[in-house]
Structure 1
């Protein structure tokens, strides 16, 4: 079966292009709307809070639907419509419900689309990176372009125009959704739910989700306040775009080459490498924020902490949750690990931020990643080492 790589790639391209505007610059937009640091941490916490319920809700609806592709298209249309609320001069109290509705639908669609991609790839899941890389390319292009567009001639920020700049990206996302579909019909079984939870209760699978949770928890200060942190240390908006972009540039290289790694090694080893790199990255970010060369090197670790981690997670989900169960696995990964981990990460970052303008928050993030790395090693990698030794001795 031929994989429709262009159509699949287009969805990642536009989804992550919009995220390339949202993640680095949304906090600046909220600042332009007059929100405090505490209010911004709550707003960004809502982004992650909807991940707790949106992915699992949407993937469950898709799994029960005779035509699940309609759920993807509906979710994208509702993402566009709800985002248009930010084009209006909403009073601050109304910003919160607008954020909840928009984030719910925006977070709902990607887990379902990941499942769509994997139905096309089948046993060739190692090719995932070659399709997902277009998301990284879209992210790079928009981060760089918008960094220049929202920076005024005098170096001031024009982040208030951000929603108007993002609107065409969501229109293109809707068009891409209508151009995609599942590769094949997936059998619906009455025992899907019970079989799914039996898999989740396996020690290795639980360890995987907990390690993913700790990784997302460690990203809390970065996704919520990194632009504010760099702005505090005197970085211009265009330079912020460079810092966000450099890691994603290396991320592209990871997606192009990581398939070779998965053909030779278990994905859990890449999970360990990713968690270890995040531990080091957040420590460096906490200790050397004013050293631009050091920060540029630290940002390259995003290629491991995000891209390699995500690719490894997709490999492990494809192994743990085959067929129709994969959608449920995607929902749990996004809901628990990204959702709950993201909410707590944003809220903890907001509480720690006032201590010393971010240093303690990033040191805590380093500690979270370290816990995840230790969990990954002892629960996933060490059993592999022991099994290999037992096989060699036998």
Structure 2
């Protein structure tokens, strides 16, 4: 009897890795800047520290996927990366002087950023032609993010409203241990041994105009997120929000994100993924403008935070769908490394550094407005180079 792809996909094992990886990210992204602040670091120093998170994304994903692709046992690299993530993060349990915080951050971020692109490729080897089902597995990462953001928001807040952010490393360490356990229980679906033609074929695909625009649009989207990922908690704290409310604000968008991941497969069965990429870029353009102009209006901020479901979840699902289309089979691992390294890596580090430079002008307003402009540029590129040609092709065929 033939076993279908649906039956062969180890959904629980794959979902568990997303769950623990993004649960840890749910502690890191909203609260790590508060932890650094509790260690006495200035806003400028925090922006540099957080930029290291993105800087390592420039080199870690591509180097790790290359090493895995050249290995006879690529899964070993995933497991080694998770173990090294756990060990390097444990260093933050020590009372490090500020000067030693920087190399510790580089080491931890390198290994933490290295593993997810490889795991995305592992997931897609299991899904095969059913890549539209990606959201049903990836959604568990969103659920883990929601749970940790909400829980840690309450746990880190003292009765007097002050923060226990100094305890954050102790609270995050078990999440990285569970991520390692999941990595030990996962594997590729089939042989992905490296072909000598892979490198040449990969760069031939990258040089296609539509693919180049896709990567550039993704870069602009990640660039626009610089103020948010680096300073949103500090921004909201400056406008009088308590730590528990910060957790709510971070969670709102991810709650809607869950709905997107559950339903977006239907969209991809009817429409090209580039349309969803365009929608995501437009939503970020609106989101950062409103965040800049109305930060003290809680109802407005709750509504605009829900756009995270489009700016992040829909964007990411569309990107994975487009990567699966542009780079099938063994080429996908290389593509994941380039996608994470260029968009999230280079885009993220420049976004964080630009936000740090603009922050002193008016405590964040200008930084978020500039972020809105970056997303708008990405939307223009996406429409004219990806979406509009589809409209013309459909009109010509009609």
Ranges in structure 1 where 5+ consecutive residues have no aligned partner:
none
Q: Equivalent residue for 1:374? A: 380
Alignment of 1:80 onto 2:86: yes
Alignment of 1:132 onto 2:135: no
Contact 2:225 2:371 in 1 (8 A): yes
Contact 2:127 2:134 in 1 (8 A): yes
Given candidates 153, 158, 161, the residue that maps to 1:147 is: 153
After superposition, residues 84-99 of structure 1 pair within 5 angstroms as: 84-99=90-105
For 2:56 and 2:353, locate their aligned partners in 1 and report how far apart those are by CA, in whole Å: 14
For 2:11 and 2:67, locate their aligned partners in 1 and report how far apart those are by CA, in whole Å: 26
After superposition, residues 237-316 of structure 1 pair within 5 angstroms as: 237-316=243-322
Q: How many residues align?
A: 392
Q: Give the drift of 1:281.
A: 0.2
Q: Equivalent residue for 2:393? A: 387
Cα deviation code 1:5-41 (max 9, x no counterpart): 0000000000000000000000000000000000000
After superposition, residues 1-394 of structure 1 pair within 5 angstroms as: 1=5, 2-392=8-398
For 2:76 and 2:341, locate their aligned partners in 1 and report how far apart those are by CA, in whole Å: 21
Root-mean-square deviation (CA, aligned residues, Å) is 0.4
Cα deviation code 1:189-234 (max 9, x no counterpart): 1011111111000000000000000000000000000000000000
Contact 2:277 2:382 in 1 (8 A): yes
Contact 2:43 2:356 in 1 (8 A): yes
For 1:188 and 1:67, locate their aligned partners in 2 and report how far apart those are by CA, in whole Å: 11
Contact 2:70 2:193 in 1 (8 A): no
With 3-12 and 182-191 compared, the bigger mean Cα shift is at: 182-191
For 1:323 and 1:187, locate their aligned partners in 2 and report how far apart those are by CA, in whole Å: 11
For 2:393 and 2:160, locate their aligned partners in 1 and report how far apart those are by CA, in whole Å: 62
Runs of 4+ residues deviating >4 angstroms: none
Give the TM-score normalised by the residue count of structure 2. Answer: 0.98
Contact 2:72 2:193 in 1 (8 A): no
For 1:67 and 1:319, locate their aligned partners in 2 and report how far apart those are by CA, in whole Å: 26
For 1:100 and 1:186, locate their aligned partners in 2 and report how far apart those are by CA, in whole Å: 30
For 1:131 and 1:371, locate their aligned partners in 2 and report how far apart those are by CA, in whole Å: 31
Cα deviation code 1:306-334 (max 9, x no counterpart): 00000000000000001111000000000
Give the TM-score normalised by the residue count of structure 1. Answer: 0.99
Q: Give the drift of 1:187.
A: 4.0
For 1:263 and 1:228, locate their aligned partners in 2 and report how far apart those are by CA, in whole Å: 40
For 1:139 and 1:235, locate their aligned partners in 2 and report how far apart those are by CA, in whole Å: 20
Q: Give the drift of 1:136.
A: 0.1
